[in-house]
Amino acid sequence: MTTAPEPMTAAPTTLLRTAAELDALTRPAGARRAVAMTMGALHDGHATLIRAARKAVGPEGQVVVTVFVNPLQFGEAADLDRYPRTLDADLALAAGAGADAVFAPSVDEVYPGGDPQVRIVAGPMGERLEGASRPGHFDGMLTVVAKLLHLSRPDAAFFGQKDGQQLALVRRMVRDLNFGVDIVAVPTVRDPDGLALSSRNRFLGADERRTALALSRALFAARDRLAAQQAPRASAEAVPGGDDRAARLTGLGEARAAADSQAVTAARTAVGPAAVRAAAQAVLDEAAEESVPLVLDYLALVDPADFTEIPDGREGGEAVLAVAARVGATRLIDNIPLTLGA
């Protein structure tokens, strides 16, 4: 009689509580170190970050996960107190995803003597969208990211695209202040129903979750609208002008466009940004009428480099469609990257 092999378990992850312990963490000669910064309450989105970090540094490299609920980026004490703390579960998830160490310091360890007098200022980008809704949030976020980068001294740091504005600001800080670290973006991870994974999702009741799905539906509707708009535009751009346009379009199977030259002109001059916003807004407007209503904070189509609003007349380039809303007592954010004029 044979015995089934026991299931494999991940190696234990080292828990570090102090900056001195983190400083003493050695890595093999020539090995790269990656860090994934979190506020804990880890889920599969964080696991994806950790796995990406492990893949990037290889089996000989080192992956450090930081778990720290940063008080500087919470505007309301109640919101800070409400944020979930699940360190034991976080250690298990980090180990399973391939982390070598988890740095989970106390507030006193990170900010000895109280709030720091010298902080990173996010600048104009930090005052838009999330910054306008949560004044001071990005100053606090950049301050702790800068400190954790100094303490962990990684070769690369991994951040999720769901926090798109945060990612853009970290990249800008690293560039402007000459941090010697690569910032790596990891795509948003979603549940099968489309909701972006977030530590705050656990606060949603069943009815609230159904309403919250409007965020991702709005983003996908905008993406589909853009794709549908750009398909006839691409066909129109491929056809030269002149009297034989209708014949050429007919040859492409564009019978309706061939019969209506105004449709061809519209396809050539269609304004992408306005259509994208309108498609998303229609979904969000419906969600605002639900029994548990969605209360929109913002919907914005922005440049991913600085999060400035993209004008309606722009015909090409990269963009991010970002949304934030409250469902019940829970505030959620989401975004999707788009390419205009593709």
Q: List the catalytic residues.
A: 46
Cβ-based neighbours of 286, under 8 Å, separated by 6 or more? 214
User: Which of 204, 207, 206, 167 minimizes the C-alpha distance to 185?
Assistant: 167
Place of tokens 């990269």: 318
User: Which of 85, 33, 37, 79 minimizes the C-alpha distance to 58?
Assistant: 33
Other beta carbons less than 10 A from residue 87's beta carbon: 14
Q: How far is the C-alpha of 111 from the C-alpha of 126, rounded, in Å?
A: 22
User: Is the Cβ–Cβ distance between 133 and 140 less than 8 Å?
Assistant: no
User: Which of 67, 102, 325, 86 minimizes the C-alpha distance to 218?
Assistant: 325
